[in-house]
Amino acid sequence: MTTSHYSSAVESDFSRARGRAFFNEVIAFLFGEDNRLLSFDAVKHSLRIGGQSYLGVRTVEVAKIVGSVNRYTDFDRAFMPTQTHTAQRWKSIDRAHYQSIELPPISLYKVGDMYFVRDGHHRVSVAREQGVEFIDAEIIACETRVPLSGPLRPEDLVIAGEYADFLEKTGLDRLRPDERIAFSVPGQYSTLLQHVETHRYFLGQARKGPVPWEEAVTSWYDTLYLPVVRIILEREVLDHFPGRTEADLYVWIMDHLYYLREQCGPDLDLGAAADDFTVQFGQPEHSLGGWVKRIARYTRFSSSVNL
The answer to whether residues 128 and 161 belong to one domain is no
The answer to whether residues 22 and 120 belong to one domain is yes
Looking at the DSSP assignment, which residues form a beta bridge with residue 115? 65, 110
Residue 273 domain-assigned (yes or no): yes
| Spatial separation of the C-alpha atoms in residues 169 and 286, rounded to whole Å | 44
The answer to whether residues 280 and 165 belong to one domain is yes
- For residue 282, name the pLDDT band (cuts at 50, 70, 90): confident
Inter-CA distances, 255 with 166, 225, 304, Å: 20, 13, 18
Residue 258 domain-assigned (yes or no): yes
- Provide the residue type at 278 as one letter: T
pLDDT above 90: residue 2: no
The answer to whether residues 94 and 130 belong to one domain is yes
Residue 148 domain-assigned (yes or no): no
Looking at the DSSP assignment, which residues form a beta bridge with residue 68? 39, 117
| Spatial separation of the C-alpha atoms in residues 183 and 162, rounded to whole Å | 10
Please give the tally of structural domains in the chain: 2
pLDDT score recorded for residue 116: 93
Residue 44 domain-assigned (yes or no): yes
The answer to whether residues 124 and 177 belong to one domain is no
Q: Which helix (H) or strand (E) holds 115?
A: strand 114-119
Q: What interhelical angle do 121-130 and 3-31 show, nearest 10?
A: 90
In this structure, which long-range contacts are made by residues 191-194, counting pairs with CB atoms below 8 Å and at least 24 apart in sequence?
A: 191/251, 192/166, 192/225, 192/247, 192/251, 193/166, 193/169
pLDDT above 70: residue 174: yes
Of 162, 95, 161, 160, nearest to 129 (Cα)?
95
The boundaries of the domain holding residue 182 are 154-305
pLDDT score recorded for residue 150: 65
pLDDT score recorded for residue 305: 41
What does residue 117 show for φ and ψ, rounded to 5 degrees?
-80, 125
pLDDT score recorded for residue 269: 85
pLDDT digits 0-9 by tens, 227-246: 999 999 999 999 999 989 99
pLDDT digits 0-9 by tens, 91-139: 999 999 988 898 999 999 998 888 999 999 999 999 999 999 999 999 9
pLDDT score recorded for residue 303: 46
The answer to whether residues 119 and 184 belong to one domain is no
CB atoms within 10 A of CB 29: 10
The answer to whether residues 122 and 88 belong to one domain is yes
CB atoms within 10 A of CB 248: 18
Residues in CB range of 154: below 8 A, 6 or more apart: 33, 34
- Provide the residue type at 284 as one letter: P
This prediction has a pTM of 0.68
- For all residues of the chain together, what is the average pLDDT? 86
pLDDT score recorded for residue 294: 46
The answer to whether residues 126 and 243 belong to one domain is no
Which CATH number covers residue 54? 3.90.1530.10
pLDDT score recorded for residue 298: 44
pLDDT digits 0-9 by tens, 196-220: 999 999 999 999 999 999 999 999 9
Residue 149 domain-assigned (yes or no): no
Lowest mean pLDDT, pick from 36-50, 110-124, 184-198: 36-50
Residue 147 domain-assigned (yes or no): no
The distance from CA 116 to its chain's CA centroid, rounded to whole angstroms, is 16
